Structure 1
Amino acid sequence: MAQIKLIIGDKNLSSWSLRPWIILEHAGIPFTEENIKLNRPDSRDALKQKSPSGLVPCLSHGDLVIWDSLAIAEYLNDAYPEKQLWPADINARAIARAISAEMHSGFTALRTVWPMNVTRRDMNHLTTGGVQRDIDRINDLWTMARKKYGKPAGGTFLFGAFSIADAMFAPVVSRLVTYGPVALSAEASAYRDMMIALPAFKKWEDGARLEIGNT
């Protein structure tokens, strides 16, 4: 089988790139990555040559090219069923997909006011413009998932074992640390801290620092 190649943007800034990358890294799926620097004069032309949408992330696997982070995640679930990237239980899987879709299409206030900046900490940014409403919803989702599915399943992730849902929320975890401190429930706080300490997340963070140092 051909090796996967993932086109990503800057690790410090590209929240969408983090999502499929952390799935591949945490699940131990072999892949190579290509980083295209964003917000540069030649960025748009470089992206158009690599991605049908002109955006990152973009995954190629042999002749197949997939854009959009959630579509990539679903493909990886289908291509590597042994990795069990969605919960096995049908009810848990339905909810995991629901909150992943909500993350994919929602939380625009938090995205806009709190752009991802992986290497920064405790910026204590404003929570106006709907940001606090988004935080409250995220807190509720994480708390619900951990109490109803994660803890009963005996794991530390939202639904017990690592899933696509955790990958979809990984950039939010980063934002809550960058712009914190943010008041969360005990369940949500423990989940945030676990994700930040995850080896795959640490590797992404180290890569972001290296990129900044080489800029």
Structure 2
Amino acid sequence: MLTLYYHPLASYCWKPLIALYEAGTAFTPRLVDLAQPDDAALLERLWPMRLFPVLEDGDTVLPESSIIIEYLDLHHPGPHRLIPADPKAALQVRLWDRFFDMHMESPVQEIVRDALRPESRRDRQTVAEQKEKLDRAYIAAERHLAACDNDSWIAGAFSLADCAAMPALFYAGAIHPFYAHPALSEYFTRLTRRPSAGRVIEGARPWFQYFPFRQGIAAQFLA
């Protein structure tokens, strides 16, 4: 039996959760609360970086959300692949996975970390720079999506890249909205209507109260 060590609020944990729900793969969710010493010690034993998610499958222990999804696609595949067999198509999927992690998730995490600091230690310049990065990422994604078919996902069929996009856009939009980008906004709406994404959001809902930008989350996701 697969075990996923995760936290429902953590955006990088949403990626493999979406993949698992897409595939209909049975797994045991193991919530890790780093405020609890035993949980923190458990996660450190599994992965010395003490970061989630971590997947355990018998003797195999894998960290890193993208790697976990690659592993699931190889060893516990669902009805459709999340990384295409065609190498060229797979490159596009991996490109957009990296795009959302590096150019949306990373700025979001910097902004959240700043918000969690005491007021006296907050850095307005860093926050402004991270929002500028988000603006550039929104423009790049908007251009790409505007050139795609209306019902297309970010790299064609639903894939690893879309698993990365949903949490990145969910939290980025709560902090620095992208309403001015219609193709990106429509894509995000379609993502959140995906049943696998809906299950992830539902599981995270009780924890949204701890997100420092909770007021930016759309009311439909809080109800």
1:197 and 2:193 correspond = yes
1:138 and 2:137 correspond = yes
1:15 match: 11
Structure 2 length-normalised TM: 0.73
1:122 match: none
Q: Which amino acid aligns with 2:129?
A: G
Once superposed, what is the RMSD of the aligned Cα atoms? 2.9
Q: Which amino acid aligns with 1:26?
A: E
Matches within 5 A, 1:25-64: 25-64=21-60
The percent of aligned pairs where both chains have the same amino acid is 24
Q: Is the 8 A contact 1:156 1:194 kept in 2?
A: no
Distance in 2, Cα, partners of 1:141 & 1:86: 22
Local SS of the residue matching 1:32: strand
CA apart distance, 1:54: 2.4
For residues 177 and 197 of structure 1, do their structure 2 counterparts lie closer, same or farther at Cα, with a shift above 3 Å needed?
Answer: farther
Whose helix proportion is higher, 1 or 2? 2
Distance in 2, Cα, partners of 1:27 & 1:67: 19
Distance in 2, Cα, partners of 1:188 & 1:212: 23
Distance in 1, Cα, partners of 2:86 & 2:138: 23
1:110 to 108, 111, 114: 108
1:4 and 2:2 correspond = yes
- Unpaired runs of at least 5, structure 1: 116-125
Aligned length: 196
1:76 and 2:75 correspond = no
Distance in 1, Cα, partners of 2:130 & 2:172: 11
Structure 1 length-normalised TM: 0.76
Q: Which amino acid aligns with 1:157?
A: W
Deviation digits for residues 140-198 of structure 1 (CA, Å, limit 9, x no counterpart): 343344345x52xx744212321000112222121134225433422111011111222
Distance in 1, Cα, partners of 2:203 & 2:109: 22
